[in-house]
Structure 1
Amino acid sequence: MPTPAVPDVLARLLVSTRNKPEATAVVVGESALTYREFDAASAALAARLRAAGVCRGQTVLLYLRQSVHTVVGMAAALRLGAAWCVVEPGHPVERIETLLHDVDCAALVLDDTQSPQVPDSARIHDAARALADAAPRPLAVLEVGGSQGYGPAPGAEPAPAVDEPGDLPAYIITTSGSTGEPKGIVVSRDNLAHMVAARRDEPGRPTFSTCRFTWDGSLLLLFQALCTGGTAVLADHRAIPDASACAGLVLRWRVAQLVSPPSFYRLMLPHLAGADAHLREVILAGEAFPEALIPQHRAVLPDTRLRNEYGPTETTVTVLAHPVSGPYGGKVPIGTPLGTTAAHVLDERLRPAPAGQLGELYVGGAQVAQGYTARPGGTAQYFVADPFSAGPGARMYRTGDLVRVNEAGEIEFHGRADGQLKVRGVRVERQAVEAVLESHPAVRQATVLGVPDEHGDTGLVAFWSPAGTAVALPDTRELIELCAAHLHDQAVPETFVTVGAMPLAATGKTDEAALLALLPDAPGRPSGGAGSGWTPLQSVVARLWTRVLKHDRFGLRDSFFSVGGNSRRVVELHLGLQREWPGAVRVGQLFDLDTVEAQAAALVAAQSRVRAGGNDGRPGERQ
């Protein structure tokens, strides 16, 4: 039976524009556009892209910090029958160059370099020009925002491509390959349209996503809102690491539906009290769902539904869903199929696994993506013929996830069949991280493991053994900088442990249990500088760093982000500072105040302001 046709997302977006032109369409941080404004902006940018040579089937690289410009760029690409690919500035240049060789990319869009809202604009502009010079085919570079807006005056725009073939690419999402090089996943317009059509959510409501546009989780509710006349609300690049700022957007826009990875939602919850007056549902996706989060959610938002969703990028965002109730005894199901999706739990001979037995999850249906860019071997390995479908050329995606069907008929996730992990909602290939570490001349062998913390959030721990010829061993900062230069943020290990040699199990493989036994139960106290010339306040700040970083190998002027800090850990650091000095610093400031010295100085300044205002207590305290 053929898959029923569904309307293209651009056609549905244009209907929303005709029906609700003055309604707010999209909000990213502090910037908002009505449907009329959004339509005009995307049409104007599409005209500029067409004039720059972008044609149907090509790709537009959105080299933008998370902002409303990114959403405009997505719609502009769709209007031309082109695809978009979002890559944020700061991404390793070598990885972007690999992508440009794999994809027929005709234009690169970046923020206006004269805008005071864009930090490091000159560096970003230079990087964009270098990418254009290194591209294997002509790559136009266009700036958006600033005085020129998105493009020419109304009247020069091309007609929107609403009748394009459904197999044209809509977007490309990059993930890490096992060698560390990025691989692009090509998702078609039909794939995206079926994902939106599969959702049975209430139309026309405000939605919110905590996700970056570089992760397809950001699309889960974005097009649901735009295609039904709702308001899509997202955090911008300044607010996205700030749980309090994200919660503020939910409250300000009276959001009805929210999507987030569980690890970040846990940080948002304390700031969402009272949101259940309008927040109807919270969707958690991208990571394993820790059952301990259920009572925490109910304590803050007793009237808000909770749902667990699952979907590899190769199957267009989300394909399984489970309404969370509990208790579950440790395994929250990932659910049952949405829309036209078919889920098969198969053994190694592609036979259905017996009920209750582990098998590998294969996903079929209209959301199975087209494959990997310039990687026919990888596409053939994971996108395989679907023997369960009567449709001509039907394929299913081999997820690599080990699952079983429980007694209620719900699918449960039980780990990976390979070395893949999900960290803060982003896919990480263990082998890719190990390969980067082993490229260091002083590292003989590396093993990277995912280790849950006390909240159930997965962090990466790298165990490494020195090379026999090594004269000097690298410190934690050097290894972090090496990984950061070749991998995305979530793939940089948070903890490094040196071992004399990798322990081996009886099978001859690395004994991962023995490695985990080497982890300390608790971090040590700050040493070195903390006892030699550091002020008492600096020592207190250092203890907070140690608690968050799980090590004390940093100096007074070391950057938090060069010694193991990341966007999740900076939020945890801010929570610790808030407990000690309420209101003294905002989480966004910690990206600039990134040393113990600078943070202690900011606390001193905050205390001085409080005293000058007549309050002898700590900043933010009531007397």
Structure 2
Amino acid sequence: MTAARTGVGQPAAIHRCFEAQVARFPRVTALETADTRVTYAEVNRSANRLARRLRALGVGDEQPVALLLEPSVDYVIAVLAVLKAGGCYVPLDVGYPPARLAAILEDTRAKVVVTRGDLEEGLSAHGARTVLLDDACEPFTAGDDENLDVPVGPDHLAYVVHTSGSSGRPKGVMVRHGGVVRLVQDPDWIRLGPGEVIPLLTSVCFDVSMFEMWGALLNGGCLVLAPGATSSLRTLGRVVADHGVTTMWLTAGLFHTVVDEGVEILAGVRQLLAGGEAPSAEHVRKLLDAHPGMRFVNGYGPTEATVFAATHTVVPPWRADGAVPIGRAVDGTDLHVLDDVLRPVPDGEPGQLFIGGAGLARGYLDRPGLTAERFVPDPHGAVGGGRLYATGDRCVRLPDGTVRYLDRIDRQVKVRGFRVELGEIEATVRRHPAVWDVAVAPHGDSPESRLLVAYPVLDPARAAQDADLTLAEVRSWLREQLPAHMVPGVWRTLPRLPLTSNGKVDRRRLPEPFAA
């Protein structure tokens, strides 16, 4: 199966697109905090001054510059300054432990670190020059504030963001300007433009923050900077109401919590995106029942494909039917469901999802072997020289042309001699109306003695009536759906599944099946 969206024309550099918005909307608010509003023109002038300071320090063609800053006005200005200077930015989360920060600095060999005086102590010894953005600092208040004329095109690196590596060493994904611009300028999957208000809710090291930031700033919208906004539903609701948020992204886990415990805080939001894990179809239905004028978008994409490679938009009325699909390719992106030798599989048959097109990252920083392994030559492209990214995600194309995510390929296990896909079990259990979510994990080292353990999250209303009876009903129903070797032998209900900071199920924190 192949699905493609082809972008029109060559996208410009990120900061050039921003400068075009400055020319159109110089006095419009670009950044908003609890007590500050900064216009497009003001942001641009400050970024130009800082960019010249960075140029004087030797920042130039794709030179990595590390940014250790909380989500703030300073952070956005610093990002733009690095891009205007011709460099690429390396976001560092202020909550990371020093060892993690040191590993990223070592990996990128950044010669310059932009931070604040109160955050600098979080950095261990390093050989980079430090630029401090303290209040009324020279980079923001003095110097030429005109746009720079540094040659930067769509294929230049924009940022390097680090993800977990199986070896324990973080791997840097090198993302190009063109990948970002193709995602947020004139998108075919979401409405972005002047008047849109988007909060930066995710970590600056999570690639969805690139959508939040550039979705607003490359379209004349307003980016809301509210650190800690997701610390509680009350805080999140206050941010949404006080700033008039119109479009926002939530991890699937937080989305489920909001729908269950405070769906009213989303009043006024016109477009809600969720991802990280597959959002529950039942929660999407409940959301749209509560807010029938809202558009819900399930966004799918690995960091290596620049935030989103596919999206599925849901508008009411909508009937919940299993997991929400990941949808169709966004503009400028190709999706292929292929077998082990890169041949298209028939519709309805599972295969690995491969991604191609303008959103692909350049590869992994200083990891040529891993880059060659995951970014493979495209045998299906009309023009030679194309690449495909091997996602490791097992997917299937549905009869209507959309793509549904099944599971990670590397989550296959053997039980009693049979090869079992845990994702298939989870997808089946989720179809039962009494189950809101579930994780299935193997327990035991040998295939002969291995048990499958299910961790379901039951519908609270059903569980309150009789949790044991409800669970027995689910288990009996599942035995009618799957072969015996695929039915978990141990079940342990949870109030909610443990999640990582990026909204994915944290399988390491699933409780021991036989613990008290």
Same fold (TM over 0.5): yes
Residues 82 and 89, structure 2, Cα contact 8 Å, conserved in 1: yes
1:166 — aligned with what?
Answer: 154
Larger-gyration structure (1/2): 1
**Following superposition of structure 1 onto structure 2, how do residues 436-515 of structure 1 map, counting pairs within 5 Å?**
456=437, 502-506=444-448, 511=450, 513=452
CA separation in 1, counterparts of 2:159 and 2:307?
A: 12
Mapping of residues 106-121 of structure 1, within 5 Å: 106-113=111-118
The match for 1:332 among 307, 324, 327 is 324
CA distance in structure 1 between the aligned counterparts of 2:204 and 2:35, rounded to whole angstroms: 17
Distance (Å, rounded) in 1 between the aligned partners of 2:352 and 2:265: 41
> CA–CA distance in 2 between the matches of 1:103 and 1:160?
25
Is 1:126 aligned with 2:135? no
Secondary structure at 2:172's aligned position in 1?
A: strand
AA at the equivalent of 2:183 = M
Q: Is the 8 A contact 2:276 2:502 kept in 1?
A: no
Q: Which residue of 2 aligns with 1:148?
A: 137
The amino acid of 1:97's aligned partner reads A
User: Runs of 5+ in structure 1 lacking a partner?
Assistant: 114-123, 133-137, 421-450, 464-501, 523-546, 551-563, 570-623
Counterpart CA distance in 2 for 1:2 and 1:283 is 22
Any conservation in 1 of the 2:158–2:175 contact (CA below 8 Å)?
Answer: yes
Work out whether residues 48 and 151 of structure 1, in 8 Å CA contact, stay in contact via their aligned partners in 2. no
For residue 251 of structure 1, give the secondary structure of its aligned residue in structure 2. helix
* Residues 202 and 94 (structure 1), Cα distance of their counterparts in 2 relative to 1, 3 Å cut: closer
Match of 2:177 in 1: 189
Preserved contact between residue 320 and residue 335 of structure 1 (Cα < 8 Å): yes
CA distance, structure 2, for counterparts of residue 85 and residue 94 of structure 1 = 16
Which amino acid in 1 is paired with 2:205? T
Give per-residue Cα distances to partners, 1:1-26, cap 9 Å, x unaligned: 99731232211211211221121102
CA distance in structure 1 between the aligned counterparts of 2:185 and 2:502, rounded to whole angstroms = 33
SS at match of 1:127: coil
Flag the 1:260–1:31 CA change in 2: closer, same or farther, 3 A: farther
CA RMSD of aligned residues (A): 3.2
Deviation at 1:84, TM superposition (A): 0.8
The question of 1:363 aligning with 2:352 is answered no
Counterpart Cα distance in 1 of 2:223 and 2:322 = 33
Counterparts in 2 of 1:548 and 1:79: CA distance versus 1, 3 Å: same
* Corresponding residue for residue 294 of structure 1: 284
Partners of 1:131 and 1:250 lie apart in 2 by 40
- For the residue of structure 1 that corresponds to 2:437, the secondary structure is coil
| Aligned residue pairs, count | 437
Which of the residues 383, 404, 424 maps onto 1:391? 383
Give TM-score, length-normalised by structure 1.
0.64
The answer (yes or no) to whether the contact 2:70–2:93 under 8 Å persists in 1 is: yes
Match of 2:66 in 1: 61
Correspondence for 1:219 among 195, 206, 210: 210
> Do the aligned partners of 2:441 and 2:453 also contact (CA within 8 Å) in 1?
no
Structure-2 separation of matches of 1:202 and 1:515: 41
SS of residue paired to 1:413: strand
Between the aligned partners of 1:387 and 1:152, the Cα distance in structure 2 is 53
Give 1:568 deviation, angstroms. 10
AA aligned opposite 2:241: L
**1:87-111 CA distance string (max 9 Å, x none):** 1123133333332233241211112
With over 3 angstroms needed to count, the CA separation of the structure-2 counterparts of 1:126 and 1:279, relative to structure 1, is: closer
Counterpart-to-counterpart distance in 1, 2:453 and 2:168: 26
- How far 1:268 sits from its partner (Å)? 3.5
Q: Does 1:403 align with 2:395?
A: yes
Post-superposition CA distance 1:28-78 (Å, at most 9, x none):
555432112211221222222223332221111111222222211211111
Residue 125 of structure 1 aligns with an amino acid whose one-letter code is E
Matched, 1:96 2:101: yes
Seq. identity, % = 27
Give, as a single letter, the amino acid of the residue that structure 2 aligns with 1:355: D
Mean alpha-carbon deviation: is it higher for 9-18 or for 22-31?
Answer: 22-31
Distance 1:98 1:112, change over 3 A: closer
Aligned-residue offset at 1:258:
1.4
Compute the displacement of 1:548 (Å). 7.8
| Residue number in structure 2 paired with 1:233 | 224
Question: Which amino acid letter does the alignment assign opposite residue 250 of structure 1?
Answer: V
d(CA) in 1 for partners of 2:23 and 2:369?
Answer: 45
- Post-superposition shift, 1:182? 0.4
* Aligned residue number for residue 306 of structure 2: 316
Match of 2:25 among 20, 42, 52: 20
- Contact 1:66–1:88, Cα closer than 8 Å, also in 2: no
Q: Distance in 2 between matches of 1:7 and 1:210?
A: 26
Q: Which amino acid aligns with 2:94?
A: P
Q: CA deviation at 1:413?
A: 0.4
2-structure distance, mates of 1:53, 1:225: 30
What SS does the aligned partner of 1:418 have?
helix
* d(CA) in 2 for partners of 1:72, 1:333: 37
CA pair 362-504 structure 1, distance change in 2 beyond 3 A: same
1:244 and 1:92 map into 2 onto residues whose CA distance is 28
Q: Structure 2, unaligned stretches of length 5 or more? A: 1-5, 413-428, 457-462, 464-493, 504-516
In 1, Cα distance between equivalents of 2:402 and 2:156: 34
**Residue in 2 that maps onto 1:434:** none
Distance 1:244 1:44 in 2: 38
> Could you list the runs of 4 or more consecutive aligned residues of structure 1 that deviate by over 6 angstroms after TM superposition?
451-454, 460-463, 547-550, 564-569
| Bigger RCO (CA 8 Å, 6+ sep) | 2
